[in-house]
Amino acid sequence: MDTIGGLPTELVNEQKLKKTSRTLSTLQNHSVPIAARVTVSKDESRDFMAVFPDLVRDITTVTKAYNCSDAAKWFAQVLQYNVPRGKKNRGILTVLTYKNLVPTQDLTPENIKLAQYLGWCVEMLQSFFIISDDVMDNSTTRRGQPCWHKVENVGLTAINDALMIENAMYAILKKHFSHLDCYVALMELFHEITYITTCGQSLDQLNSNRCVSEFTMENYKAIVENKTAYYSFYLPFALALHLAGYKDAEAFRQSKTILLEMGNFFQVQDDFLDCFGNPEVTGKIGTDIQDNKCSWLAVVAMQRANVEQKQIMVDCYGKEEPAKVERVKELYKELGLPSTYAIFEEESYNMIKTHIQQTSRGVPHQTFLQILNKIYQRDS
């Protein structure tokens, strides 16, 4: 009999599943697991949102200065529709991390506002990515509303709108941060993360043109790290480190290791919700199966499937027909992937927490733990 730690494997897995039954409710009750939600206080969210009108005004002023009044009016609509509508996890994460890194006496209104502006720059970068991504995937909904390119009179103008958002971000950085010692570091970080993320998007698109039989976990992890983890987790944290005056390269390296691990789990969860989440709760209709995405579910399914089941994947994955999409979802259930995901979630949380406790260079453990618990909403 197979054993883990001297106990029968079946018993160990059964105990793990009992601990993670909340995750399985995603499949059973069509609700988003607690881990998918990032909860911030109403005060934090309100204070962050209060800066957004200033951001729009700054950008509008810059745009008008180029004798582009009509473009400025249009761009204000672009910003209002796309930038502040999401959960704003990345932007608020930037602010919360900064608050945790600096002494209380340095938390002046001016410094907090700088952190909020940095947070909004991250949200603008996120908008640039998702507008472009939605065009490439021909997605229909995002954040509970039509994707920008699906809005009447927008269409492929969305591509230029995305470019305007990306470059307006640098106008904000110049206006509010050019007098600081960390300005060049902030600029270089945004440029680096943008390039890394677009490389990840390229990997994602290239893999979506391959047969599901060619998907590998190695390719999946490369896509996730580059397309999601860097800009969703490392970027907000590293921005806060720079603004707080951190210079130690080892502190950045250790932070990156932990945050990329968080990003990997976050994307696995996103893949799971794309298939099993309720669109009314997640705000988008999952299309990974139809789009032939190299998702965690598809990779694990192919690892577990027998010859007959692999043929079902080859025949049905990446196809638009609803019956074929449903057959893939049924196969995922037959292969026990919801249970596998529940165990993966529990083990990932514990692994990341252990790595946090092992860090030694400057950044307080509680700073990482707060992010982990806000992201996953788990009891420590």
Q: Is 161 a catalytic residue?
A: no
More confident residue, 334 or 31: 334
Q: What value does the mean pLDDT take over residues 112-129?
A: 97
Q: Is 204 a catalytic residue?
A: yes
Local confidence band at 282 (pLDDT 50, 70, 90 cut-offs): low
Catalytic residue among 204, 274, 288, 291: 204
Local confidence band at 31 (pLDDT 50, 70, 90 cut-offs): very low
Q: Is 276 a catalytic residue?
A: no
Query: CA-CA distance, 90 to 121, in Å (whole number)?
Result: 10
- How many residues in total does the chain contain? 380
pLDDT tens track for 235-246:
999 999 999 999
**In one letter, which amino acid is 245?**
G
Q: Is 227 a catalytic residue?
A: yes
Q: Is 271 a catalytic residue?
A: yes
Catalytic residue among 88, 90, 99, 142: 142
Q: What is the DSSP letter of 38?
A: -
Confidence check: pLDDT of 326 > 90: yes
Catalytic residue among 88, 99, 190, 271: 271
Q: What value does the mean pLDDT take over residues 90-96?
A: 92
Give the pLDDT of residue 374: 67
CA 54 to chain centre: 25
Q: Is 266 a catalytic residue?
A: yes
**Residue owning tokens 């680096």:** 192
Q: What value does the mean pLDDT take over residues 213-223?
A: 95
Catalytic residue among 52, 75, 88, 133: 133
Q: Is 142 a catalytic residue?
A: yes
Local confidence band at 4 (pLDDT 50, 70, 90 cut-offs): very low
Q: Are 95 and 44 in contact (CB under 8 A)?
A: yes
Catalytic residue among 48, 75, 128, 177: 128
Tokens of residue 225, six digits? 């790290």
Q: What is the mean pLDDT of the chain?
A: 86
Give the pLDDT of residue 26: 38
Local confidence band at 37 (pLDDT 50, 70, 90 cut-offs): very low
Q: Is 374 a catalytic residue?
A: no
Among the ranges given (38-42, 81-85, 270-274), the one the predictor scored with the smallest mean pLDDT? 38-42
Catalytic residue among 190, 266, 272, 276: 266
Local confidence band at 16 (pLDDT 50, 70, 90 cut-offs): very low
Catalytic residue among 64, 87, 113, 150: 87
Other C-beta atoms within 10 Å of 264: how many? 20
Confidence check: pLDDT of 138 > 90: no
Local confidence band at 309 (pLDDT 50, 70, 90 cut-offs): very high
Local confidence band at 287 (pLDDT 50, 70, 90 cut-offs): confident
Give the pLDDT of residue 294: 94
Catalytic residue among 270, 274, 288, 291: 270
Q: Is 288 a catalytic residue?
A: no
Catalytic residue among 137, 221, 329, 374: 137
Give the pLDDT of residue 203: 93
Tokens of residue 262, six digits? 């968080």
Tokens of residue 17, six digits? 């599943």
Give the pLDDT of residue 375: 61
| pTM of the entire predicted model | 0.83
Q: Is 133 a catalytic residue?
A: yes
